[in-house]
Amino acid sequence: MKLRIKDLSFVTGGAFVSIMNSTDAREIDLHPGDRILISMNNKKIISVVDLSEDEKIKKGEIGLFDEILDYLKTRKGYVNVKIAKRLKSLGYIKKKLEGKKLNRKEIFEIIKDINSNNLNEVELTYFVSGCYSHGLSMHEIEDMTDAIVKAGHRLKLKKHPIVDKHCIGGVPGNRTTMIVVPIIASLGITMPKTSSRAISSPAGTSDTMEALANVSFEVNEIKRIVEKINGCIVWGGVVDLASADDKMIKVRNPLRLDPEGLLLASIMAKKKAVNASHVLIDIPIGKNAKIERKKEALKLKRRFIELGKDLSIKVKVIITDGKQPIGNGIGPVLEARDVLNVLMGNGPMDLRKKGIRMAAEILRMLKIKNPKKKALDSLNSGKAYEKMKEIIKAQKGHIFRPEQLKLAKFNKNIHSTRSGIVKEINNKDVSKIARTAGAPVDKKAGIYLNKKLRDKVKKDELLFTVYASSQKRLNYALELVKERNPYVIS
């Protein structure tokens, strides 16, 4: 069937979608949700089809969204349309939902269809749910990591070593990446950091860095930045670097699903995509962290190291204290303020210490003498801060000082109702309150913590401040504070 293109001038942000007139659809027995093969000038694309019952899409027309038009490199003309064969990957997704193991060919087929936008969000969610419910074997994780890397581009740098780091998450704050990258890069070592956005936290590294500079760049631009200044802090989702993973993260986000197998494949695929030779993994453990018991952490550590060997990456895993948030600011702007303060010689001491420790661990992996002293010297001399300014400038940013970052208009101070010592700060409740206030979508929203574990507190003393950009958002967050105040004082 030959149909005239109607430009819908809209981005779906997901699977390829087209709209046909219901009369045309009936002629070839198409139903909503079926897939069609659209071809034009030797270009072919599979699209999910929706039907128009009114005259918005006339008989003989096909409405195409921007993603398809960009792929076909046209905004007008005619396309050939026919029913597409059922995707093999759908059968494999069903197999995973039934708890069966997938082989290499099946995993590669699923990842290929994810990367090609052939699967819609419902189908992708089924796959993630299958991985969450039934887990992934080590062979499946290795194959998935390999498939994610091979489905996208790789950052090809003529440098060695190339180092990287990653924290598995679960602890609010913890913006060590934005301290480690400038320290390492200031010492002449290459560290191209591609990060994801927040899944279940009030901010990811990309969300926080975006408060200072652009994080969305094409692969060639990232390469140019890194070759010039040794480092970058960018979002991996905008480029075709392990992009299949970022599509899975998008559907993991609403349900806060972070299955171990996908976590391992996600992290290591990104490291392989930037050709990292050495990777430091941070696994925080503690009550209300993502990993609460050391036994779980040690199991995950072994799997990271095993996967690193399979990918020819030297991996070191450190298990750190995750009993409370790292830093004081929770939310993109508040966390960016903490980072800049640390780089300028002030800032939260726990964030500073952890940043130095992680930079030193990376230098130790490279067999560099006096690693902690070198990391400290970079920070204390101002070299790390100057390098961060270079990174911000290279990423088209213009914010270099904490006072340039404006906080949300509405705020409320929360005071202690009793005197005593801070016995617990619930990570999950801190995250929930900050997200309810609007973070990370609203970069100015979040929480600022004034007290940490083991601090002495007097009755009516300030514990934390909640920031939101509307009174309604602030009220929602304050209702949650009443239900789930994250501080336990006794």
Write out pLDDT tens, residues 158-212: 899 999 999 998 899 999 999 999 999 999 999 999 887 777 789 999 999 999 9
Cβ-in-10-Å burial (0-12, 13-18, 19+) of 55 comes to exposed
CA–CA distance, 54 with 409 (Å, rounded to integer) = 45
Task: Categorize the per-residue pLDDT at 237 as very low, low, confident or very high, splitting at 50, 70 and 90.
Answer: low
pLDDT value of residue 418: 96
Q: What letter would DSSP give residue 44?
A: E
Number of Cβ atoms within 10 Å of the Cβ of 346: 12
pLDDT value of residue 253: 58
CA–CA distance, 123 with 93 (Å, rounded to integer) = 8
DSSP β-bridge partners for residue 50: 19
If you average pLDDT over residues 241-258, what whole number do you get? Answer: 64
Task: Categorize the per-residue pLDDT at 250 as very low, low, confident or very high, splitting at 50, 70 and 90.
Answer: low
What architecture is the 406-489 domain classified under in CATH? Answer: Alpha-Beta Complex (3.90)
Topology (CATH level 3) of domain 2-83: Barwin-like endoglucanases (2.40.40)
Mean pLDDT check: name the lowest of 89-98, 251-260, 292-301, 465-474.
Answer: 251-260
Say which residues have a Cβ less than 8 Å from residue 262's Cβ, sequence separation at least 6.
128, 131, 132, 136, 144, 248, 252
CA–CA distance, 35 with 408 (Å, rounded to integer) = 45
List % helix, strand, coil for the chain (3-state, nearest 5): 45, 20, 35
Task: Categorize the per-residue pLDDT at 306 as very low, low, confident or very high, splitting at 50, 70 and 90.
Answer: very high
Considering the chain, what is the average pLDDT of its residues? 92
335 has a pLDDT exceeding 60 = yes
Q: What is the CATH number of domain 163-402?
A: 3.40.1030.10
Q: Rg for the chain (alpha carbons), in Å?
A: 24
Query: Which residues carry out catalysis?
Result: 258
Delimiting residues of CATH 2.40.40.20 domain(s) in the chain: 2-83
Q: Which two tokens stand for residue 484?
A: 């789930």
State pLDDT tens for residues 37-87.
999 988 989 998 999 877 789 999 999 999 899 889 999 999 999 998 888
pLDDT value of residue 192: 95
Spell out where 380-457 has E strands. 410-415, 420-425, 446-449, 456-457
Delimiting residues of CATH 3.90.1170.30 domain(s) in the chain: 406-489
Delimiting residues of CATH 3.40.1030.10 domain(s) in the chain: 163-402
State pLDDT tens for residues 422-459.
999 999 999 999 999 999 999 999 999 999 999 999 99
255 has a pLDDT exceeding 60 = no
